[in-house]
Amino acid sequence: MFLNTLKFFLAVVFAALMSGCALIGAGIGAAISEGESGKLSGTVEVGEVKMKAGANVTLPKTAKLSSAVFEKDMVTLNTSSKPTDAKINAAVADEVKRSLGTPGNAVSPVTVRLKTLYTDSYPIDWYYRSITEKKTLGLFQSSGIRKLVNIHFVLEQGSDTLLEVHGLWVSGHQGDEILGARKLAREMVSEVLKKLSTPAASVKKE
């Protein structure tokens, strides 16, 4: 009788624990996903737009655009990128050109340089926590990350860096990385334009 009672008690406890785990897992998925066009677009995080002190920053419509795939350090070029990397890089460049209204291939002293990284290999949560600026996701939420896009938007004039902003898109398994990269690119351009429209930015428009 005692053994039967003990077995029943353990079964109830185990079921409760498993139910709790399911709820926690669902919470993580909900925290890093939101709907856009019927697909999971994940979470977007845009860092601070940093400008060179005293710079008279100009973002002309004729600014040329340069984009490439980078390694996780965002310093080393990825010379053996996968087809998915190239697609995401192209999507980011296309969205930035569209958002800025620039052809992207003009002869200009001003360059918008885009560095892109896409990864769906582990441990992405560790990478996210090491580079995030805003800590949008907590420790347990970030453990649900399965896909990540990192973009650096850099405005250069010659060898001089005038402006820079970093952005992240993260999602679980079901996230659409192309959709997410485009959304991140749009939001980064929006933040750059906001920064350049402030009086403190000392901006010249062309």
Give the confidence band of 155 by pLDDT, cuts at 50, 70, 90. very high
The more confident residue out of 130 and 107 is 130
Average pLDDT over residues 45-64: 86
Note the pTM of the prediction, 2 decimals.
0.78
Q: What's the rounded Cα separation, in Å, for the pair 168 and 124? A: 12
The Cα 14–Cα 9 span in angstroms is: 9
At residue 194, the pLDDT reads 92
pLDDT at 23: 32
> By the 8 A CB rule, do 206 and 102 touch?
no
Task: With a cut of 80, say whether residue 189 has pLDDT above it.
Answer: yes
SS (H, E, C) the chain: CHHHHHHHHHHHHHHHHHHHHHHHHHHHHHHCCCEECCEECCEEEECCCEECCCCCCECCCCCEEEEEEECCCCCCECCCCCHHHHHHHHHHHHHHHHHHCCCECCCCCEEEEEEEEEECCCCHHHHHHHHCCCCCCCHHHHCCCCEEEEEEEEEEECCEEEEEEEEEEEECCCCCHHHHHHHHHHHHHHHHHHHHCCHHHCCECC
* pLDDT band (50, 70, 90) for residue 4: low
The two structure tokens encoding residue 95: 């969205």
Segment 67-119, tens digit of pLDDT: 999 999 999 999 999 999 999 999 999 999 999 988 877 778 889 999 999 99
Pairing type for strands 110-119 and 147-157 reads antiparallel
Give the percent of the chain with pLDDT over 70.
76
Q: Domains of the chain (ranges plus CATH)?
A: 32-201 (3.30.160)
Percent of the chain with pLDDT over 90: 60
* pLDDT, tens digit, 9 for 90 and up, residues 15-38: 444 444 333 333 334 444 444 443
